[in-house]
Structure 1
Amino acid sequence: MSVLLRLTSALSGRKIGTDRFGNAYYESKADYRAYGRKRRWVLFAGAAEATKVPPEWHGWLHHTAPAPLPETKRHAWMLDHQPNQTGTANAYRPAGHDYAGGRRAVTTGDYEAWTPGT
């Protein structure tokens, strides 16, 4: 994140809080005429990736909640955040995908492709 963005955030906004990932959330000091309300934004810790915004802060960021929700207790069955893997070697590829071998399981009656005009 740039030094200019940090400086602008400190001057024109007020810090609302941080989440468990270290992201900092800001709200403008004045109402924006174009929006008719205060503007809200996030300064990401590390790479800027929208999937790193937890649900407790997502509602506040998009003006669906007046205040950030309290962080819920983390249970043992809850998984930690994983960044979006689309376009990487770790992306989900179901059986039959070209990159996963290209062979799908045979189904009953197996698939018959549609051909136009028949």
Structure 2
Amino acid sequence: MVSLARTIRSIRRVGIKEWWHQMQYIGDAKSGRLVGTDQFGNRYFENLNPEEEIPGRHRWVDFAQHDYNATQVPPEWHSWISHIRKDPPTEDRVVQNLSPPWKTPWNENLTGTRGAFRTYNTTKPKYEAWQPKTAARA
């Protein structure tokens, strides 16, 4: 439950504009340390104060796009948000050193959009659809 004191404290920390943005998108007013951003422009935050955040919900992402989904989070950031990794990718030397130079940039899942992959066939079909033949009446 959000108290009036917590709401006022959050408005003071993040400002009216950011507070309103958070209320519209995540439904809660949060304030924390900006940990980093990814190639999509998503911002990742963390608040380690146990009095302000529920344990397990102290890491969150602020999506750059209004029409967001979970596939817009790259794997290295997903592992940090899900508490698989302790350190964020910006501070974790293992993640930074293991990224191979041939690795392609992460693309979101485009299923349901115009950019979705669709298979196609270049061979002639084995059968043709039946077309009824109609004769003109006399």
Q: If the length of structure 2 is used for normalisation, what is the TM-score?
A: 0.50
Distance of 2:78 and 2:57 partners within structure 1: 16
Partner of 2:3: none
The answer to which structure has the higher strand fraction is 1
Which residue identity does 2:85 align to in structure 1?
A
Q: If the length of structure 1 is used for normalisation, what is the TM-score?
A: 0.56
Q: What is the RMSD of the two structures over their aligned residues, measured on CA atoms?
A: 3.7
Please, which moves more after superposition, 52-61 or 34-43? 34-43
Equivalent pairs counted in the alignment come to 97
The answer to which structure has the higher helix fraction is 2
**What fraction of aligned residue pairs are identical, expressed as a percent?**
35
Partner of 1:56: 76
Divergent runs of 4+, >6 A: 103-106
Which residue identity does 2:113 align to in structure 1?
T
Distance of 1:37 and 1:83 partners within structure 2: 25
Please, which moves more after superposition, 33-42 or 86-95? 33-42
Distance of 1:32 and 1:63 partners within structure 2: 19
Show structure 1 runs of 5+ residues with no match. 107-118
Matched ranges for 1:94-113 at <5 A:
94-95=119-120
Structure 1 residue 18, shift from structure 2 partner: 2.0
Show structure 2 runs of 5+ residues with no match. 1-16, 24-28, 127-138
Which residue identity does 1:24 align to in structure 2?
R
Distance 1:30 1:90, change over 3 A: same
* Structure possessing the higher radius of gyration over alpha carbons: 2
